[in-house]
Homo-oligomer: A and B are copies of this chain.
Amino acid sequence: MVAKSKNSISKKSSYKIKNKNPLQAKQQSKKNKLKTYILMSKEITSRAQDYSQWYNDLVLKGGLADYSAGRGCMVIKPYGYALWENMQAQLDKMFKETGHENAYFPLFVPKSLFEAEEKNAEGFAKECAVVTHYRLKSDPDNKGKLMVDPEAKLEEELIVRPTSEAIIWNTYKGWIQSYRDLPLLINQWANVVRWEMRTRLFLRTAEFLWQEGHTAHATKKEAVAETELILGIYAEFAETFMATPVIKGLKTANERFAGAEETYCIEAMMQDGKALQAGTSHFLGQNFAKAFDVKFTDKENKLDYVWASSWGVSTRLIGALVMAHSDDEGLVLPPKLAPIQVVIVPIFKGEEQKQLIDKKVTVLLQHLKLAGVKVKYDDNDNNRPGWKFAEYEMKGVPVRIAIGARDLANNVVEVARRDTKEKMSMCIDGLAENIIKLLEDIQVAIYEKARLFRDEHITKADSWDEFVQLLDGKAGFISAHWDGTPQTEEKIKDLAKATIRCIPLNNKQEEGNCILTGAASTQRVLFARAY
């Protein structure tokens, strides 16, 4: 029995050991292990104590990702990847419904192509991983070890794509001759690499997964419309599926994508009041067409450069999702994206009770699965119900159903919702329908909670003092006047570590004075500290 209870928590405790210092781990092993499920939830650092550590705890202990031996790279674990697959499936559907097709372009960009669009190249040059050799050989001084073969040096270095405009526009050159070849509406799901000095799981890693759309158009108007269409899709996805309210806006020149004429963005607010840029859509003008000489014959038989957009969201969205809704007990996932929407935990003594429960659950599972609900029946008898409750709470499963022998006698089950922790008794008759309704309610409730918090944390500041006090105190987005110059923006960033997150679309025009310089301004913009 001792051996068994030891084994039953070994998986969990291994994570503990990895993520804690050895001393703590040792103390842990002395405690009563049957109470591990209670200790577990306590092991998450609270938001109040250390918001940043709280986030790391959630990602690691929620089973979303792990650190890896590759510097700055992460391992996306099955539970985290399932979340990403759900995001991908929905976004992919939205892209295809609006006429986009997927394709795949090479990972490596020859240096001469990479540098063709100078602004873009300059913007990314400092974070490029570079392939210089194509072979290893045995190290003569180190038996069993390898070394880079100096004779296998590439004539031209290859850049591991930080973004694919260069390789794609070089390809489009061969695909576009006439206005009949336009628009070209292509997306790719891919990995990219940006060498970051300070990394954070999901939020900022050297390698990350994303989708990048690259479209080509005959007119400026169409390219701008495409850029805005995609921004709309991103916002709809964030709000309807991630249950995360966002503000649509334009970036200032300082914060624009390197090589873009205009960068549109959606900005979300995290629970610490910091902003997180959740997606960007760029109007690229004719910059890449000029850099790669991509011209087309228009209807009047005149040659002109092609107009472009590019846009992307990444696994960073998982970080946003974690920080937007979760609490001190673990993840809180919106039902529309949760890998497991409903978990059913049996509570029984003896095989006879178990069989009665199994019988009821089989019917319920059928109903739920037929309705497309992602449901898991966890009857693994290695773990106690209390351990399971804590585990699924940690993993943010929206609805938990517990079924015990006494419940069965009364024809009810206990239903717990993860977001509010509310527990209720539900009749087994019509349960599937009520659970589906509950999932919808949770989706709305999570969104509303986040929206309320966000709206309460958008504050006007009309002086520099007020601005700084808000940043250091209440946090959130600060709506303030700015004189419109990059110099002032830069100075505010240096002084207050806050950046202009965006100029909201359809922003209200009003007279005012820049909070820093006092110069005349025609509109407020949104400032915040950001991830």
Contacts and interface: CB of A to CB of B under 8 A. Distances in A.
A84 B359 CA distance: 41
Interface in A72-112: 73-78, 80-82, 84-85, 101-111
Contacts of A133: 129-130, 132
A316 to B, nearest CB: 14
A146 interface: yes
A522 interface: no
B129 A103 contact: no
Contact of A76 (B104, B111, B129, B157): B104
B130 A132 contact: yes
B130 A148 contact: yes
Contact of A167 (B18, B69, B135, B158): B69
A24 interface: no
B382 A11 contact: no
Given A68-B171, A106-B70, A129 B125 contact: no
A57 interface: no
A361 interface: no
A129 B129 contact: no
B130 A75 contact: no
Given A75-B104, A186-B78, A135 B127 contact: yes
A126 B132 contact: no
B130 A144 contact: no
Contacts of A175: 14, 66
Contacts of A48: none
A139 to B, nearest CB: 9
Contact of A110 (B70, B102, B122): B70
Interface string A131-172: 111111110000011101000000001111000000100110
A174 interface: yes
A105 B68 contact: yes
Interface in A2-16: 3, 7-8, 10-11, 14
Nearest to A116: B144
A70 B108 contact: yes
B69 A170 contact: yes
A145 B106 contact: no
Most interface-central of A70, A157, A191 (chain B CB within 10 A): A70
Contacts of A85: 102
B134 A129 contact: yes
Copies of this chain in its oligomeric complex: 2
Nearest to A100: B78
Interface size class of chain A, counting residues whose CB lies under 8 Å from the partner chain: 35 or more
A171 B103 CA distance: 31
Most interface-central of A66, A127, A160 (chain B CB within 10 A): A160
Contacts of A69: 110, 113, 167, 170-171
Interface in A171-185: 171, 174-175, 177-178, 180-181
Contacts of A115: 144-146
A210 to B, nearest CB: 12
B104 A174 contact: no
A113 B136 CA distance: 14
A262 interface: no
Most interface-central of A78, A102, A109, A134 (chain B CB within 10 A): A134
A86 to B, nearest CB: 12
A209 B70 contact: no
A118 interface: yes
A178 B11 contact: yes
Contact of A106 (B75, B81, B135, B136): B75
Contact of A111 (B68, B81, B105, B146): B146
Most interface-central of A109, A121, A132, A167 (chain B CB within 10 A): A132
B114 A177 contact: no
B131 A130 contact: yes
A301 interface: yes
14 contacts: A10-B177, A14-B174, A18-B174, A69-B170, A70-B107, A75-B105, A76-B103, A81-B104, A121-B136, A125-B135, A125-B137, A127-B135, A128-B136, A130-B148
Interface of A: 3, 7-8, 10-11, 14, 18, 66, 68-71, 73-78, 80-82, 84-85, 101-111, 113-115, 118, 121-122, 125-138, 144-146, 148, 157-160, 167, 170-171, 174-175, 177-178, 180-181, 186, 190-191, 193, 195, 206-207, 209, 297, 301, 382
Which 9 pairs show the lowest CB-CB distances between chains A and B? A73-B106, A78-B101, A70-B106, A76-B104, A125-B136, A134-B195, A130-B133, A10-B178, A70-B108
Given A75-B105, A75-B171, A130-B131, 10 more contacts: A7-B178, A70-B109, A74-B106, A76-B103, A107-B160, A118-B144, A127-B134, A130-B134, A130-B136, A190-B191
